[in-house]
Amino acid sequence: MKVSTKAEHAIHAMLYVAATPEHVCSIDEIAEQESIPREFLAKILRELVKKKLLKSFKGIYGGYRLGKLPQQISFLNIIEAMDGPMLVVSCADDRHKNKTKRKYCSAQVFWIPLQDRLKTTLNEMTLDKIKPA
C-alpha cells in the first residue's frame, strides 16, 4: 500500500498550517515552504476546505487556517479526504458491492485486522503530535 502523492502533499500542507497558527497561510507560502506545485496545491486545499479540515479566507490577506483543533485532525482524516476510504484490499471493504467476491476472499482473516491496525495508527497520529523540523 502506498499513500498517494496528493495525500502526502495534503499532510505536509496541513502540518505547515498547524505549525503557524499565528497567521493565515497563503497558498504561495505553503507551496514554497513545502515544495508543492502551486496548481496541484490549489486543488488539494479546495478539497481540504470542502471536508472542513481547513478554513479559507478571501482578500489581500487571505489564506488558510485549520478548520479544527490540531488534535482533532488525524492523518487518516487527511488521507481519506484526498483518496476516499482507506482500504488495504477491496475484499476488506464492508461496503463492497460485490458481496460474492468478498465472501470468497479467503485472506480476509489477514487483511481486515491489518487494515484495522493501520487505520487505528493513522487515526491516532494527529497534527499536534508532529513538531516542525
Cell matching residue 13: 500542507
**Lowest mean pLDDT across 25-29, 69-73, 127-131:** 127-131
C-beta of residue 63 within 8 angstroms of C-beta of residue 26: yes
For 72-105, how does the pLDDT look when each residue is reduced to its tens digit (9 = 90+)? Answer: 999 999 999 999 998 888 777 765 555 555 566 7
Query: In the Cβ-directed half-sphere of 25, how many Cα atoms lie within 13 Å?
Result: 26
For 12-68, how does the pLDDT look when each residue is reduced to its tens digit (9 = 90+)? Answer: 999 999 999 889 999 999 999 999 999 999 999 999 999 999 999 999 889 999 999
Q: What is the pTM of this model?
A: 0.88
- What single DSSP character describes residue 106? T
Domain boundaries, the chain: 5-129
For 20-32, how does the pLDDT look when each residue is reduced to its tens digit (9 = 90+)? Answer: 988 999 999 999 9
Q: Please check whether the domain covering 5-129 is classified as CATH 3.40.50.720.
A: no
Phi and psi based region of residue 52 (left: phi greater than 0; alpha: psi -120 to 50; beta: remaining)? left
The pairing of beta strand 63-66 with beta strand 54-57? antiparallel
